[in-house]
Amino acid sequence: MALFTIQNEFRYEIVRKIYEGGMGIVYEAEQHGAREFVKRVAIKVIRQNYANQKRFIENFIGEAKLVADLIHTNIAQTYHLGETNGVYFIAMELIRGVNLEQFSGQLSDKKRVLPKELAVFIVSRVARGLAYAHAKRDRDGKPLGLVHRDVSFKNIMIAMEGDVKLTDFGIAKARGFLADNEGEVVAGKADYMSPEQADFQITDQRSDLFSAGVVLAHLLLGKNIFKGATTEESRQRMIGLPIPDFRSLDPRIDDRLNEILHRALARERDQRYGTGNELLYDLEHYIYHSGYGPTNETLGKYIRELY
């Protein structure tokens, strides 16, 4: 087989800052190619105060390499890992939309209650993305053992067209990609992490499914029942707060949806959903078993009207 190499340097021009997090900044940029080719992308860079720390750089590169092969409609796509003047950056899919934290804030500002079918639909798309990521294998066919570890409102986006995207695998763990000291430190957002994650234990894919359950409960209730006044209080609530009968908190939640929530939020891992596909099946059966249910187009119409 003949092999050839195309030598080419992408050129990016920053348009505006989209988001600034604890360790990284995301910009909207234009990627320029041959013959006036232009594509809008998102550019993620490490914050300056972390840019010289070897561990952060290695994990940043590991994240890019890991996500490069995660090609799924419910996961934000990564295009390119680059470096300029000693600064590494990741070029990613630009999602014209909002994360669930922004979405929830807009609902609150407009005194709107998210229809329960749309709440279930959003989390069913998250479950689809997780099922795919959890099952991912390396080039030798060995399971990566990928766990996102940060499934939360900030890391789930809804595009204006209604697509739901899981983003930011920056603290994910996967064999051979990212340095990890799990069991020694807690990674993730305290009010969305699983009990085992909050308790410094080793996690598996069931941890992400617990977090998806927290997201679903938050969307339905309009509040996160695990969120405390401090990070430590949130962590303790994750470990010990009794899981309520959700029917008493919202009359829209029927017996079956209450059962789904309780299985997703089971403290004992063996009683929880074992795979993303199991959670996906129950969520989709719930919204589609009687006929027509929500779609990307339904969600897109809702979010465009909201904004």
Residue pLDDT, tens place only, 8-22: 567 889 999 988 876
Lowest-confidence segment of 83-87, 103-107, 185-189, 273-277 by average pLDDT = 185-189
Q: Which CATH superfamily is domain 11-92 in?
A: Phosphorylase Kinase; domain 1 (3.30.200.20)
The CA-atom distances, in angstroms, between 38 and each of 29, 159, 169, 189 are 10, 21, 27, 36
User: What pLDDT is recorded for position 210?
Assistant: 98
Among 109, 138, 140, 150, which one carries the catalytic annotation?
A: 150
| Known catalytic membership, residue 245 | no
Domain spans of the chain, in order of start: 11-92, 97-306
Does the CA dihedral 114-120-124-127 come out positive or negative?
A: positive
- Per-residue pLDDT band for 184 (boundaries 50, 70, 90) equals very low
CATH architecture entry for 97-306: Orthogonal Bundle (1.10)
Write out the two tokens for 143: 């399971």
Give the DSSP H/E element, type plus range, for residue 265.
none
Helix, strand or coil, per DSSP, at residue 264: helix
Percent of the chain predicted with pLDDT > 70: 92
Predicted confidence at residue 214, as pLDDT, reads 98
Alpha-helical (H) ranges within 69-115 are: 100-109
pLDDT band at residue 186 under the 50/70/90 scheme:
low
Q: What integer pLDDT is reported at residue 27 of this predicted model?
A: 92
